[in-house]
Amino acid sequence: MIVRQRKKSRDGIYLYQPSRKESHTSYRKRHVFLLAAVRLAAVWSAAAAWWKSLTSVFPMEVDSVYLYTSLFLLTAVLTLLWNIPVRMIGKIMIFVLLCGGAAFWIRLHMDVAASVINSAANAYLSVCKPDAALYPVQAVTASRLAVMTGLFMVPLLLIWSVSLSIRRGKVLSVLLLLAPAVLSLVAAKVPSELSCWLLILSGGFFSSVYSCKNGQAAFVNGMGAACILGLITGFATLASRPFEQYKEPPDGFYAETRVYIRTKWIEPVGDYIQEVQEMERARKEAARREHEEEQSPGETDSLDESKAPDAADRPDETQTSEEPPDTAQTPEPEVNTVAGGLEHPLFQDEGGQPDDNGGADSGGGSAAGFPDLNSLSHFQPDVGVRMTVSLDKKPEETFYYPEAYGGIYEDSHWSGAASDDTVSEEHMQYPDTIPRLKELCDGHVSNSLDEVTDFIRQELEENTVYDYEPGATPEGKDFAEYFLFENQKGFCVHFATTAALMYRICGFPSRYVQGYAVPAAAFHRQEDGSYLAEVTGEMGHAWCEVYSGSRWILKEHTLPYRGVRPEPGRPAAASGEHTWVPNAAGWMLRILKIAAVILAGLFLVVILLVLQAAVRRQHKYRRFQRRQGGAGIQSIYRAIYDAAVFHGMEKTDFLNQKGFEALQKYRPEMDAALMEWLYKAVLETMFYERELTREELRQAQSLYRQFSKMIKTELNPCRRFIYRYIRVL
């Protein structure tokens, strides 16, 4: 762009002479490949250090070689995209196309995406909630897992690469780099020494090349920062070795200081927070009891007092693939029931109300009536607190609390059985209406309980899936046979009923049990040293018990649920439709699907926008070529005027002399003689019926292109996009 500068001569007179500023493009052409290589190294090293810092505290089983290679290739693609000599709209289109391809690849490999998400969730749970059940992770190849992990890190790579390209957002880039270390400290863990040094090195290297405009300066700054930080790191590491010996003695200064800080600072703060939480919980409980007493004062007098704050999510019977212990529950819990009754949540009709036959009694294993199993169509969990369970010791695994035992099975209906440790003939009874089930089990009658257990587990795993909405059993069909041989989907009641009957056919006394499965994480330590858990409707469960060796042994045969878990109080979608969506990955995979649709829609919008702009631009150029009546040159002059107004010139009457003078003053860089000729030609065609030659039209079009190019170079990217593709000036 030509700019007029003043130059002082020896006699003191200021003269104007044209000079040419060095444009931004010339900077980018200097050592462009070296600059791209340095930026690539900065982003890739930041990504590698970020991953090392994260996995030093939250370990994930991902092959490092494959992952770092994937990150390098993805970073190279982004770096190349920002440095290729293509207009911004072209870069945006290429980027949207690449994102669409990545989203399509993720959509085709949802099982790998679910494995990455669940692995990340398990890594967090293993550190922050070691008692929680882990999510199932499907085995996939190391290369596919690494590529998928790299794709999930693309947003980080994008932010860092764009930040280096536009030289803005340095604070955000550094905060993202330090995010894993901050997360580790929040989890009361400290990243490894190596990961901390890598963060320092990569952060220093990134910051040193951040403001560089050419490759030579970026290379010098980056190498200098890397060498200086490397020397500091090495010296600090060697110097810290002698101090490590002070950490070893248990009665040394380091150990005593840690104990002092923990006992004097950390533990009092934790106790205070717990006390505040307990006070808030007691306040809510008092308000709840007062509200219930106002509504049903006569009913609550006969019930024990209990707490009923909001409970944690139940892990229900399907959230863990770990086999529970094959022993009956030995701890003697103290149970407080909640006012309003304990209708078991497994037996609800379509409207969410308890079945007419009633639920389980609250007597901790007393006989109870059971509904018609054939009418069960879905399990709709809720968050209502049913009771509180108090134990002297926190259980290491899921605590099973029985409410009712099923003895005789007839016409798809369980009848109550005794809750003591005795065994009777009813525990070996099964009806004649299950011939297929009997034929299946007759060949596996064995004296070994383990062999029968493995046989039942294998049959259920190979032929059934867990489903919150299996539908009701058709009239005239047996509940267990229809589940195992025809419908092949159900929830805990289906699995427990079928397993109990199969044990009986194989020669082992068994009984059906309904109650609650309380996860170990739901128990919280109280002031008196006991552990209290709030049992919610979501924890409703059914299982079977087998009598062997003079005792009842708990057997859990409900399969893990591999569908999107329903929200409390709402039915779930059938797991058979999306068996690849397990637990934690459900909402993330939905987000990926939505992102893929959005990217595809965005790409389509960009394509349509470019096409309509191209059509309108061609139509405008055809108008420029019209000679009849001077329509072409009038359109050219009007386009120049509209471009100047869009750029910021005050709007006037473009045909009068004042409007032309305003246009000349606004862009004095344009050739004054050519602009004067253009204005006169427009007036002559309008008032004197002058016919322009093709050469004159070409000269006017050249003048328009020169003016438009000058305007575009001074617009920011957003206004340039509007100028080219919305206004089409």
The model's pLDDT over 454-509, given as tens digits with 9 standing for 90+, comes to: 899 988 988 888 888 888 888 888 999 999 988 888 889 999 999 999 999 998 99
**Per-residue model confidence (pLDDT) at position 82:** 79
Q: What is the pLDDT of residue 327?
A: 45
Q: Which two tokens stand for residue 676?
A: 């004067």
Q: What is the pLDDT of residues 628-677, one digit of tens each?
A: 777 888 888 888 888 888 888 888 777 778 878 888 888 888 888 888 88
Which pair of tokens denotes residue 720?
A: 């340039």
CA-CA-CA-CA torsion sign (301, 304, 307, 308): negative
H/E segment holding residue 407: strand 399-409
Phi, psi for residue 513 in degrees, rounded to 5: -130, 135
Q: Average pLDDT of 319-336?
A: 49
8: exposed, middle or buried (Cβ count in 10 Å: 0-12, 13-18, 19+): exposed
Q: Is the domain of 265 the same as that of 363?
A: no
pLDDT at 543: 92
Would you state the pLDDT for residue 554? 92
Burial state string for 630-643 with b = 16 or more CB within 10 A and e = fewer than 16? bebbbbbbebbbeb
Tell me the C-alpha distance between 666 and 668, whole Å.
Answer: 6
Would you call 293 exposed, middle or buried from its count of C-beta atoms within 10 A (0-12, 13-18, 19+)? middle
Q: How confident is the model at residue 376 (pLDDT cuts 50, 70, 90)?
A: confident
Are 411 and 491 found together in one domain? yes
Span 603-632, average pLDDT: 81
Q: Which pLDDT score, from 0 to 100, does residue 715 have?
A: 83
Please name the residues in contact with 319: beta carbons below 8 A apart, sequence gap of 6 or more. 133, 135, 560, 561, 565, 583
- The 8 Å CB, 24+ separation contacts for 354-359 are none
Q: Is residue 17 part of a domain?
A: no
Output the 3-class SS for 530-590: CEEEEEEHHHEEEEEEEECCCCEEEECCCCCCCCCCCCCCCCCCCCCCCCCCCCCHHHHHH
Question: Is the predicted pLDDT of residue 360 greater than 90, yes or no?
Answer: no
**What average pLDDT does range 587-607 have in this prediction?**
69
Domain-located, residue 6 = no
Q: Which of 380-394, 548-562, 666-680 has the lowest mean pLDDT?
A: 380-394
Q: Which residues pair with 518 in a beta bridge?
A: 399
Question: Which two structure tokens, joined as six digits, stand for 188?
Answer: 């009361």
Q: What is the pLDDT of residues 209-263, one digit of tens each?
A: 888 877 788 888 888 888 888 888 777 777 666 655 655 566 666 667 767 777 7
Give the helix/strand (H/E) hosting 2. strand 2-8
CB atoms within 10 A of CB 194: 13
Q: Would you state the structure tokens that stand for residue 325, as one six-digit string?
A: 């212990």
C-alpha distances (whole Å) from 312 to each of 276, 339, 727 are: 18, 19, 56
Q: How far apart are CA 484 and CA 460, in angstroms?
A: 7
Closest CA to 471 of 358, 376, 537, 586: 376
Note the pLDDT of residue 509. Answer: 92
Mean pLDDT for 6-32 is: 46
5 vs 578: which has the higher pLDDT? 5
Beta strands in 314-384 (DSSP E): 334-337
pLDDT score of 503: 92
For the entire predicted model, the pTM comes to 0.44
pLDDT at 397 (0 to 100): 84
If 0-12 CB within 10 Å is exposed, 13-18 middle and 19+ buried, where does residue 324 land? middle
Structural domain span for residue 443 = 334-573
Q: Is 549 among the domain residues? A: yes
**β-bridge mates for residue 335, sequence order:** 389
Q: Check whether residue 178 and residue 296 sit in a common domain.
A: no
CA distance 331 to 391: 7
Q: Among 217, 245, 273, which residue terminates a domain?
A: 245
Is the confidence at residue 556, as pLDDT, over 60?
Answer: yes
Mean pLDDT of the chain: 75
Domain membership flag for residue 9:
no
The burial of 122, by beta-carbon neighbours within 10 Å (0-12 exposed, 13-18 middle, 19 or more buried), is given as buried
pLDDT band at 303 (very low <50, low <70, confident <90, very high): very low
- Of 509, 538, 573, which marks where a domain is finished? 573
Instruction: Tell me if residue 154 falls in helix, strand or coil.
Output: helix
- Residue 341: the pLDDT is 42
Is 401 domain-assigned?
yes
Q: Give the pLDDT of residue 456.
A: 92
Please report the pLDDT score of residue 510 as a whole number.
93
Tell me the two tokens of residue 511: 């009984």
The structure tokens listed for 529 are 């040293």
611 within domain boundaries: no
| 290 and 224 part of one domain | no
**Which pair of tokens denotes residue 599?**
């990217």
Contact in structure between 51 and 75 (CB atoms under 8 Å): no
Condensed to tens digits (0 to 9), the pLDDT of residues 51-61 reads: 988 888 888 88
What tens digit of pLDDT does each residue of 412-466 get? 888 887 777 788 888 889 988 899 999 888 877 777 888 899 899 988 988 888 8
Report angle CA 68, 73, 74 to the nearest 5 degrees: 95
Residues 363, 221: one domain? no
SS3 labels along 668-682: CCCCHHHHHHHHHHH
CB count within 10 Å of CB 360 equals 27
State mean pLDDT over 376-393: 78
Neighbours of 248 (CB within 10 A): 9
The reply to whether 241 and 291 lie within a common domain is no
- Largest distance between two CA atoms of the chain: 126
Tokens (6 digits) for 314: 């139940």
The answer to whether residue 216 is domain-embedded is yes
Structure-model confidence comparison of residues 699 and 301, the more confident one: 699
Are residues 281 and 195 part of one domain?
no
Are residues 239 and 260 located together in one domain of the fold? no
- In this predicted structure, what is the pLDDT of residue 544? 94
Is residue 329 a part of any domain in this protein?
Answer: no
Residues 189 and 291 in one domain: no
Which two three-digit tokens encode residue 615? 């059509």
Residue 317 DSSP class: T
The DSSP secondary structure of 478-531, one letter per residue, reads -HHHIIIIII-EE-HHHHHHHHHHHHHHTT--EEEEEEEEE-GGG-EE-TTS-E
- Could you tell me which residues come within 8 angstroms of residue 404 by beta carbon, excluding any fewer than 6 positions away? 344, 360, 361, 365, 366, 367, 368, 370, 416, 513, 514, 515
Which residue, of 540, 555, 573, is where some domain finishes?
573
Give the chain's domain count: 4
Is the per-residue pLDDT at 15 higher than 60?
Answer: no
Q: What is the pLDDT of residue 585?
A: 56
3 state DSSP class of 357: coil
Do the Cβ atoms of 481 and 436 come closer than 8 Å? Answer: yes
Do 265 and 124 lie in a common domain?
A: no
Q: Note the residue count of the chain.
A: 729
Parallel, antiparallel, or unpaired: how do β-strands 334-337 and 14-20 relate? unpaired
Nearest to 546 by CA among 644, 423, 725: 423
- Mean pLDDT of the 309-333 span: 43
> How far is 480 from 372, CA to CA, in rounded Å?
12
Q: β-strand 524-525 against 334-337: which pairing, if any?
A: unpaired
Share above pLDDT 70 across residues of the chain, in percent, rounded to a whole number: 75
Percent of the chain with pLDDT over 90: 6
Q: What is the pLDDT averaged over residues 356-375?
A: 49
Do 70 and 214 lie in one domain? The reply is yes
Residue appearing with tokens 């002297």: 392
Give the range with max mean pLDDT: 354-368, 583-597, 691-705: 691-705
C-beta separation of 417 from 426 below 8 A: yes
Predicted pLDDT at 651: 81
Q: Which of 31-35, 120-124, 470-474 has the lowest mean pLDDT?
A: 31-35
pLDDT tens string 34-92: 888 888 899 999 999 999 888 888 888 888 888 899 889 988 888 888 777 776 667 77
> How confident is the model over 510-523, as a mean pLDDT?
88
Query: What is the rounded distance in angstroms from the CA atom of residue 363 to the CA atom of residue 344?
Result: 13
> Do 271 and 184 belong to one domain?
no
